[in-house]
Structure 1
Amino acid sequence: MAAENAGIVPRTPGLAYIGLVLTPLFWAGNAVIARGTVDSIPPLSMSFWRWVIALCILLPFGLPGVWRHRQVIRQHLGSMLALATFSVAAFNSLLYYAALTTTATNIALINSTIPIFVALLAWLLLGDRTRPLQALGIGLAILGIVTVVAQGDLSVLLNLQAQPGDLIMVAAVASWGLFSVLLRRQAVPLPPLTFLTTQILLGSGVLFPFYLADLLFFSGGFSWSGDTALPLLYFAIFPGILAYGFWNYGVQQIGPAKAAIFMYLVPVFASVLASVFLDEALGAAHLIGGALILSGLLLATRVGRRPPV
């Protein structure tokens, strides 16, 4: 209890790695389901309501901590507002908008550059260095992601054409990179549940005026039904509450650069889910790419560990 009251998170990197594997799995599900619902639920409505539902689920558990640590939240309000803007408000809203005007291949390729953005920003803002073995791991992971996305066909990459959604995805990736680096740099001393609840509360507040403007003047919103409520419930619980909680914890435990490497798993998981739920073929390229990505993850995340004594 003393550790929680002090905002100290015990070091348990094993749990962090498990959470960082589940995070891209949940986000892959987010991408697959969003592709099938973005035409019936406008992007800003999808983003706003997923967080409202998540907040309703979290508040009974997280509100006591928010009240108990209100002084800390007040002292770090500016930092927490920036973190909530880059993560809760911006990233998924931009991704959902990108899905309207670009292909899944483009989104997967651009999304795979998250570790590059995080490593660059960590170097610029935090002074982090990339060791040779970590660089090799990143290279293997990049090779794996290209293999998965291109499905072994180089022409898939050579024939890519820029779409408005491509630029939107670049903005989304940059937003997530800033969030990941600032999450460590700001070091807000709050327990994980309190931090996550506050982030969703602030991020929903940032989203609200944009959602309202879109509702009144552009999209007109959507009709509530089982076909729209169930995807939103998934978005709220799995890529929302659980994934963000796991990500925040993982970044605090092992740092933003190493945590970002796990984002290479998103297209791998997405390919598997698409093959199961969308009847898309899972070929040798996916298996080879997955092996390369896992090898890269192993190298990159083992860098910096001290041998047992």
Structure 2
Amino acid sequence: MRSRHATLPIFAAVSWGVMFPVLASALTRVDALNLTTARYVLATAVLLALLLAREGVTALATQRRGVEVVLLGALGFAGFNTLMNLALGHAAPQQIALFAATVPLVTQFVRWARDGVRPRPALLGISLVALVGVGLVITRGRLDGLGQFGWGGLLMIGAVLGWAFYTHGASRFPEWSALRYTTLTAVAGMLAMIAASAVADLTGLQHAPAAADLVAIAPQLAYAVLVAAVLAVLAWNTGVRRLGPADAALFMNLVPVATFAVQILRGYRPVAVELVGAGLTIAALVAANLVTRTRSAARATAAPEPLAVVDRPAVVDPVAVVGR
């Protein structure tokens, strides 16, 4: 059963790994902000249609949590995707993918900051190893290559932090289905993207794409919308609910693997130190997730507290369970 559920986060991670080279090719015709906006206007329309068909109009209510939904959508969808697309203009797709794969690790630190759940010392050491691996890929093992970190790396640090807060925020909506949380936060993120693109276009920071430009990137846009933004996000959120965050997060390590594979198929030839750095980062991320899983398992097997005696049995609503 768990192996079947694992296909969901595997599909999501591989889809996102392929996405980075796809979006990088689209940026040659459309500016980063406009590309992000076009992608999520279409993706949000699809998500809204799915939500209305499955859960009805009542699912659009934020239940007095509108401010939180807006902030999470702005951080997760608008922040992560906009900064990621901007970073692709300054760094190679395989470098961006390695940064993206650190989301589960960064989420642990976000949890520490917000909930007071302190990571184990081993996790702190592992995070340093992962950072060294990313550094080897970016610099190709040369000290004079540190200048290549530049804007691409800084933008991806902001993107990863935004998605980490978004991922952590999902745990604050346990009563919502994965589809509902994804859709409502996507709507908020889409509105933020539209506003940012409008300001950038009006001030001349970027230029609104012509119809010919959108037609030229139609294949990339179709993949980024239908596969990476709709199917992959829904598969990821569903997989997290079925496997648990710690187990599901392990599959994020497939993101840079998929990106490197695509780049190699396109003719890119990584040097040995890049492969060592990528391997070091992936190994560190796997170790980080195993540390997290071990700690969670230890807590789960600890002696439970005596249950209080109640005068009636607990009742589980099967409709609510199926809907999540």
- TM norm structure 2: 0.74
Q: Displacement of 1:132 after TM fit? A: 7.4
Q: In structure 2, what is the Cα distance between the partners aligned to 1:101 and 1:283?
A: 20
Q: In structure 2, what is the Cα distance between the partners aligned to 1:203 and 1:84?
A: 4
Q: Do the aligned partners of 1:27 and 1:266 also contact (CA within 8 Å) in 2? A: yes
Q: Specify the alignment match of 1:178 in structure 2.
A: 165
**1:272 corresponds to which of 222, 247, 261:** 261
Structure 1: which amino acid aligns with 2:186?
A: I
Q: Structure 1: 5+ residue runs without aligned partners?
A: 1-11
Query: Secondary structure of the residue that 2:269 maps to in structure 1?
Result: coil
Equivalent positions of 1:125-144 (< 5 A) are: 125-130=114-119
Q: Displacement of 1:142 after TM fit? A: 6.6
Q: Specify the alignment match of 1:53 in structure 2.
A: 42
**2:223 corresponds to which of 227, 234, 239:** 234
Q: Displacement of 1:298 after TM fit? A: 7.4
Q: Specify the alignment match of 2:24 in structure 1.
A: 35
Distance 1:293 1:15, change over 3 A: farther
Distance 1:273 1:113, change over 3 A: same
User: Greater CA deviation, 22-31 or 53-62?
Assistant: 53-62
**1:167 corresponds to which of 154, 162, 165:** 154
Q: In structure 2, what is the Cα distance between the partners aligned to 1:38 and 1:169?
A: 16
Q: Do the aligned partners of 1:48 and 1:207 also contact (CA within 8 Å) in 2? A: yes
Q: Displacement of 1:113 after TM fit? A: 3.5
Structure 2 residue 59 is matched with structure 1 residue 69: yes
Distance 1:18 1:135, change over 3 A: farther
Query: Secondary structure of the residue that 2:117 maps to in structure 1?
Result: coil
Q: Specify the alignment match of 1:196 in structure 2.
A: 182
Q: In structure 1, what is the Cα distance between the partners aligned to 2:224 and 2:250?
A: 22
Q: In structure 2, what is the Cα distance between the partners aligned to 1:105 and 1:57?
A: 29
Q: Do the aligned partners of 2:21 and 2:93 also contact (CA within 8 Å) in 1? A: no
Query: What count of residue pairs does the alignment treat as equivalent?
Result: 290
Q: Specify the alignment match of 1:215 in structure 2.
A: 201
Q: Specify the alignment match of 1:296 in structure 2.
A: 287
Which structure is larger by alpha-carbon Rg, 1 or 2?
Answer: 2
Structure 2: which amino acid aligns with 1:222?
A: P
Q: Specify the alignment match of 1:224 in structure 2.
A: 211
Query: Secondary structure of the residue that 1:39 maps to in structure 2?
Result: coil
What percent of counterpart residues are identical?
A: 22
User: Greater CA deviation, 249-258 or 198-207?
Assistant: 249-258
Query: Secondary structure of the residue that 1:81 maps to in structure 2?
Result: helix
Q: Do the aligned partners of 1:43 and 1:93 also contact (CA within 8 Å) in 2? A: yes
> Cα deviations across residues 97-154 of structure 1 (Å, max 9, x unaligned)?
112234446534543442332111112222335457877887887787677x379x53
Structure 2: which amino acid aligns with 1:49?
A: A
User: Greater CA deviation, 287-296 or 247-256?
Assistant: 287-296
User: Greater CA deviation, 256-265 or 198-207?
Assistant: 256-265
Distance 1:124 1:297, change over 3 A: closer
Q: In structure 2, what is the Cα distance between the partners aligned to 1:30 and 1:49?
A: 15
Q: Displacement of 1:238 after TM fit? A: 1.6
Q: Do the aligned partners of 2:178 and 2:234 also contact (CA within 8 Å) in 1? A: yes
- TM norm structure 1: 0.77
Q: Specify the alignment match of 1:25 in structure 2.
A: 14
Q: Displacement of 1:282 after TM fit? A: 6.7
Q: In structure 2, what is the Cα distance between the partners aligned to 1:228 and 1:39?
A: 9
Q: Structure 2: 5+ residue runs without aligned partners?
A: 302-324
Q: CA RMSD in A?
A: 3.4
User: Greater CA deviation, 237-246 or 87-96?
Assistant: 237-246
